[in-house]
């Protein structure tokens, strides 16, 4: 299969051409996998590249696809809204109000909500709002959690052992001052947070956390840890921000907070809520959200495309499918997720591959390490080479899994039990081959 971008220019050349006019040939750094790669179509659980190779897609646009690619219910709603309303950019539309009602109904902690275009913007608004509302400067984040590209949170995600917990910005060009006001704690370790509060308690505006840190696969939270964070922040006058950009709508309509029963002050969400269309948001208590300027507060709220009809219609349609009991979205993805995790556990055990298979609902991840995994510290033992090679070989076999260490995989409504079984068969062959070739022998590889 080929696409024609300019007259007589084959598509393969176009993918390489991208590197000449787009930095690295991609529009977001982690889309680069080392060679030009161009895609031409995506439907249901499958994507097709320019060479005509079809993949069962578990990358799912880093989790933005929840129902499957090009879901008819969503694309029809987007088309209708675009033709009818587009972007007015003044006052409010009935679509924006409808989405706000749906979000306030769905998310337990949401009394008020704003729409944004991306998770990064939601986090920016959340952190600024927390600072504006409390008059404090510092925030606390966790080693391994990712909260987007905004300066204040751009540090200490997948850090090398020598930099973990220390100075590890994600980028140059950020003022040290912006990063220095973000203090780093360890996930599932309340004492590490308590220690920071002991030092800077009255200066901390907020603690921000992915309740399930999916940006390093799937660390599962201890209930007592999350409850401890809630109690500690409340006692010290700081806000608790759940960044549910991945977990929101994916694990339950009300996000992970619905499952754990803990109520944060602010919640960011995005990604899967629009099944691939750019839409995100921030929700919170009336008291905190009233600090935004349109409500008479002092924290700026701005964004030309916020609440545009196409994105808003996509979110309304997606939430409609997720909440339709006849669809049974959550049962479907949970049962396929369990099938995948159980299958991977049996395969790695039978082959004697050192692995921890983990995940939640629609998300699955396999760490190549021994022992238990609680926090980022444990992930420093992960065999990144084996992880990347396994994912690379799975992709080469037709199962798209992002070939970078500590990345998760996603199951959508469009995946079937047959997809899972075929994936497990391929995984068994790939892992057996890697074992035969000594790829799990770290000593040999040195």
The residues that touch ligand PLP, with contacts defined as CB under 6 A, are 62, 118-120, 123, 146-148, 210, 215, 243, 245-246, 270, 280
Which residue, among 313, 288, 325, has the nearest Cα to 109 in the 3D structure?
A: 288
Q: What does the block give as tokens for 184?
A: 């780093």
CB of 260 to ligand PLP, least distance (A): 16
> Within a 10 A sphere around the Cβ of 335, how many other Cβ atoms?
15
Residue with tokens 């691939």: 276
Q: Which is nearer to ligand PLP, 151 or 439 (CB)?
A: 151
Which residue, among 126, 119, 167, 125, has the nearest Cα to 143 in the 3D structure?
A: 167
CB of 46 to ligand PLP, least distance (A): 23
Q: Which is nearer to ligand PLP, 62 or 292 (CB)?
A: 62
Residue 176 makes CB contacts below 8 A (sequence gap 6+) with none
Which residue, among 271, 230, 236, 233, has the nearest Cα to 250 in the 3D structure?
A: 271
Residue with tokens 């391929």: 426
Q: Which is nearer to ligand PLP, 114 or 245 (CB)?
A: 245
Q: Which is nearer to ligand PLP, 62 or 440 (CB)?
A: 62
Distance separating alpha carbons of residues 163 and 154, to the nearest angstrom: 14
Distance separating alpha carbons of residues 401 and 38, to the nearest angstrom: 16
Q: Which is nearer to ligand PLP, 215 or 291 (CB)?
A: 215
Q: What does the block give as tokens for 315?
A: 């979110």
Q: Which is nearer to ligand PLP, 58 or 440 (CB)?
A: 58
Distance separating alpha carbons of residues 183 and 170, to the nearest angstrom: 15
Torsion from C-alpha of 50, 23, 157, 393, nearest 10 degrees: 30
Q: Which is nearer to ligand PLP, 270 or 403 (CB)?
A: 270
Q: Which is nearer to ligand PLP, 184 or 427 (CB)?
A: 184
Residues in the chain: 446
Residue 418 makes CB contacts below 8 A (sequence gap 6+) with none
CB of 421 to ligand PLP, least distance (A): 29
Q: Which is nearer to ligand PLP, 138 or 146 (CB)?
A: 146
CB of 3 to ligand PLP, least distance (A): 26
Distance separating alpha carbons of residues 440 and 28, to the nearest angstrom: 31
The conformation of residue 169, written as its DSSP 8-state character, comes to B
Angle subtended at Cα 271 by Cα 270 and Cα 273, rounded to the nearest 5 degrees: 70
Residue nearest to ligand PLP (CB): 119
Q: Which is nearer to ligand PLP, 103 or 430 (CB)?
A: 103
Side by side, the strands of the sheet bearing 138-142 are 112-116, 280-284, 266-269, 239-244, 204-209, 138-142, 182-185
Distance separating alpha carbons of residues 383 and 153, to the nearest angstrom: 26
Distance of CA 22 to the CA centre of its chain: 24
* Cα distances (Å, whole numbers) of residue 179 to 126, 140, 150, 151: 16, 11, 10, 7
Q: Which is nearer to ligand PLP, 280 or 340 (CB)?
A: 280
Distance separating alpha carbons of residues 154 and 179, to the nearest angstrom: 7
The conformation of residue 325, written as its DSSP 8-state character, comes to T
CB of 95 to ligand PLP, least distance (A): 20
CB of 241 to ligand PLP, least distance (A): 10
CB of 82 to ligand PLP, least distance (A): 21
Residue 22 makes CB contacts below 8 A (sequence gap 6+) with none
CB of 438 to ligand PLP, least distance (A): 34
CB of 327 to ligand PLP, least distance (A): 25
CB of 239 to ligand PLP, least distance (A): 17
CB of 407 to ligand PLP, least distance (A): 11
CB of 303 to ligand PLP, least distance (A): 13
Q: Which is nearer to ligand PLP, 146 or 225 (CB)?
A: 146
């Amino acid at each position: 299969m080929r696409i024609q971008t300019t007259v007589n220019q084959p598509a393969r050349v176009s993918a390489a051409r991208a590197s000449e006019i787009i930095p690295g040939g991609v529009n977001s750094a982690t889309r680069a996998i080392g060679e030009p790669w161009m895609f031409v179509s995506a439907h249901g659980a499958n994507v097709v590249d320019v060479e005509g190779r079809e993949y069962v897609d578990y990358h799912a646009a880093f989790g933005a696809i929840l129902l499957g690619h090009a879901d008819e219910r969503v694309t029809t709603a987007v088309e209708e809204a675009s033709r009818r309303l587009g972007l007015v950019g003044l006052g409010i539309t009935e679509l924006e109000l409808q989405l706000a009602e749906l979000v306030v109904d769905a998310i337990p902690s949401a009394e008020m909500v704003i729409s944004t275009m991306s998770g990064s913007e939601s986090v920016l608004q959340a952190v600024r709002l927390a600072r504006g509302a409390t008059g404090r400067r510092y925030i606390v984040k966790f080693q391994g959690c990712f909260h987007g590209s905004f300066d204040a949170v751009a540090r200490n995600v997948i850090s090398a052992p020598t930099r973990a917990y220390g100075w590890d910005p994600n980028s140059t060009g950020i003022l040290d001052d912006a990063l220095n006001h973000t203090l780093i704690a360890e996930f599932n370790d309340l004492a590490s947070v308590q220690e920071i509060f002991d030092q800077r308690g009255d200066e901390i505006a907020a603690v921000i956390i992915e309740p399930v840190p999916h940006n390093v696969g799937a660390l599962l939270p201890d209930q007592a840890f999350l409850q401890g964070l809630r109690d500690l922040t409340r006692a010290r006058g700081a806000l608790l921000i759940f960044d549910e950009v991945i977990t929101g709508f994916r694990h339950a309509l009300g996000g992970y907070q619905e499952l754990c029963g803990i109520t944060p002050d602010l919640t960011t969400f995005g990604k899967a809520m629009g099944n691939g269309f750019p839409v995100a948001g921030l929700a919170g208590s009336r008291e905190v959200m009233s600090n935004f300027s349109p409500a008479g507060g002092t924290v700026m709220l701005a964004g030309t495309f916020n609440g545009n009809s196409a994105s808003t219609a996509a979110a309304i349609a997606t939430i409609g499918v997720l909440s339709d009991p006849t669809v049974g979205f959550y049962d479907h993805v949970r049962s396929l997720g369990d099938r995948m995790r159980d299958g991977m556990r049996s395969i790695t055990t039978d082959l004697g591959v050192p692995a921890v298979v983990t995940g939640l609902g629609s998300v699955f991840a396999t760490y190549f390490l021994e022992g238990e995994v609680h926090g980022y510290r444990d992930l420093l033992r992960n065999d990144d080479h084996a992880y990347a090679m396994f994912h690379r070989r799975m992709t080469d076999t037709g199962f798209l899994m992002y070939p970078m260490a500590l990345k998760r995989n996603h199951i959508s409504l469009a995946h079937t039990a047959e997809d899972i079984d075929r994936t497990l068969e391929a995984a068994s062959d790939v892992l057996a081959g890697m074992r035969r070739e000594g790829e799990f022998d770290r000593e040999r590889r040195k």
